[in-house]
Structure 1
């Protein structure tokens, strides 16, 4: 490698995931080399990149769309364009942007497709802004695009203290929706501060506990656990209610069983759809959700940024960490110690 090449590599500190297992063993910092903007792409200097449960799934090779090892993780990021490639229109060097590349965010400079960028207002804090890219849009779209929830309704949010759950709870409360939120007892005060009524997720008969608070059932359940727990979530629904499955726990699965954690949700979604067509669900329905870029993504992210600017939303930031502490952030997620979203600051 030439001296110039060595200098270029040192210009782009990054973190990569080298294989399946524990974060302390398979997360390492290295010099990725500053990229050049290809056709239709831009290079963004990253201000903040999110740490999410998707990275936990990728680390254990249990994500439904896993990239090949080694790779640079980082599902979402915010930053500023420093280079524009040929064929790019509508974006210029200096523009502040947000993006959801699914991986590649944990580095100082990232090359991204211009068509997947969204504008980021100058006055927003980078960590709070990146907390809304994946988690915020997920919360917004599940509530507004997948359910018929209205003011005065009651919903159940599993993991109400988490990155998605805390934002979903705040959006729902802002709309006048009553929220029952599950969390560990240590996080109940945080759930109350969000405006929700906490329940211990380990309650032996959770459907009965929910029915005690909402005798007629709830208008929607937002479930990030999956598996057999989806049957309990279904049992909590009021007639006409919606169960939204937006993730799956990977506990108990072997690395490499990349799609198996998600099969229980898929099977139940199909089964409930057939039963609904036959008129056997009392109007209840189940939907699976997976956030993706596109026209709705940009519009909904802008709506979230508007609420952030107005002070309606307060993203829970579990910690702002340097790239060198990426493994510690993943460990906190694995151990269930995070309240909100960890953010890496290159």
Structure 2
């Protein structure tokens, strides 16, 4: 195998060879490998999607450290989501789907030039929405939409606190919240404050300010919802900042990304606190959000809800309520550089991987 900083052979046609990025084990980004092979053939009910854009999310940052709580055994192809065009379809699939641009949430497998999907897991991307723009809103948009509208359900005029308001999920979440008529307080480093103010967010500097004290100044009666991806001590502070009847939505443990030991323990601690807090007679509610937990509804209901919610996010993009923030576009075979860039904390928006022939004139085209 090649390393994931190696350029593809010159003259390789887009649909003559499968190219995928392999995470072989716990490694630095430069340890990612490139594997080449034959383009897969779809089975009954399946489609093959020619990838046009796939993203680097926080999940991959955890996975390469072995810290994502339900990642598959090594080696595997990472890639939480993707957008692409349906190349071929298997038996039982509507023929009209071939040639359509679709998006899909896959958890793993997206970092590949061609991906086999169940046709039922593909959500059509509206006309006029570009592949990279749509990609920034798949896992981030679904997560933000469902946390805001299916869990917190804050009434118009309410106030929420979003940790990491400049991050992938946070950026979408604050825009959806503003479109819903909510007041938003967002934590971020100082260099992102002007961008947050432009979105109508009241920023709080988490490195130099006492976040709980500052939020209490801004919302003396407490906030109606907190969205916390940090875990650890932060989730306790978030619970204490809630107004009566407020809702905490925890959805990660980012502060433990570089820890050693059990990868499940940080999440189990949050789950334990959520269970305990929900037994208290104070009218507040707590959730640990995992988009895949919706599968408990049954496969068909899960797919229908995911499709409906992602369609709503795409419509918000078309209406201008949400913007697609692309930090950089890099070729798939430069996944190592893309992962390193995403982990640097120096960019705003999502780092997107594109096919070799879709990378543009620059290896790291930023916007």
TM-score scaled to structure 2, two decimals? 0.86
Q: Which of 18, 23, 33 is the matching residue for 2:24? A: 18
Of 292, 307, 321, 1:312 maps to 321
- Is 1:54 matched up with 2:63? no
Unaligned runs of at least 5 residues, structure 1: 1-5
In structure 1, the partner of 2:136 is 131
Shift of 1:204: 5.3
Q: In structure 1, what is the Cα distance between the partners aligned to 2:271 and 2:208?
A: 25
Q: Does 2:46 align with 1:41? A: yes
Counterpart for residue 329 of structure 1:
338
Between the aligned partners of 2:220 and 2:324, the Cα distance in structure 1 is 31
Corresponding residue number in structure 2 for 1:234 = 239
Tell me how far 1:173 sits from its aligned partner: 0.8
Q: Measured at CA, do residues 39 and 197 of structure 1 come closer, stay the same or move farther in structure 2, by a change above 3 Å?
A: same
Matched residues in 2 for 1:9 and 1:46: separation? Answer: 11
Between Structure 1 and Structure 2, how many residues are aligned? 334
Could you say what secondary structure the match of 1:247 adopts? coil
Encode CA deviations 1:218-259: one digit per residue, 9 max, x unaligned. 00000011112111111111111000001112334227x331
Segments of structure 2 that go 5 or more residues without pairing to the other structure are: 1-11, 293-301, 356-367
Runs of 4+ in structure 1 over 3 Å off: 6-10
Shift, 1:113, TM fit: 1.1
Q: How has the CA–CA distance of structure 1 residues 53 and 227 changed in structure 2, closer, same or farther, with 3 Å as cutoff?
A: same
Secondary structure of the residue that 1:274 maps to in structure 2? coil
Change (3 A) 1:266 1:92: same
- Give 3-state SS (helix, strand or coil) of 1:111's partner: strand
- Partner Cα distance (1:216, 1:203) in 2: 23
Contact 2:62 2:257 in 1 (8 A): no
Query: 2-side partners of 1:67 and 1:32: how far apart?
Result: 22
Match of 2:146 among 141, 144, 166: 141
1:283-294 to 2 correspondence within 5 Å? 283-292=283-292, 294=303
Which residue of the partner structure matches residue 296 of structure 2?
A: none
Q: Does 1:339 align with 2:348?
A: yes
2:160 pairs, out of 143, 155, 169, with: 155
- The answer to whether the 8 Å contact 2:78/2:110 transfers is yes
Matches within 5 A, 1:211-222: 211-222=216-227
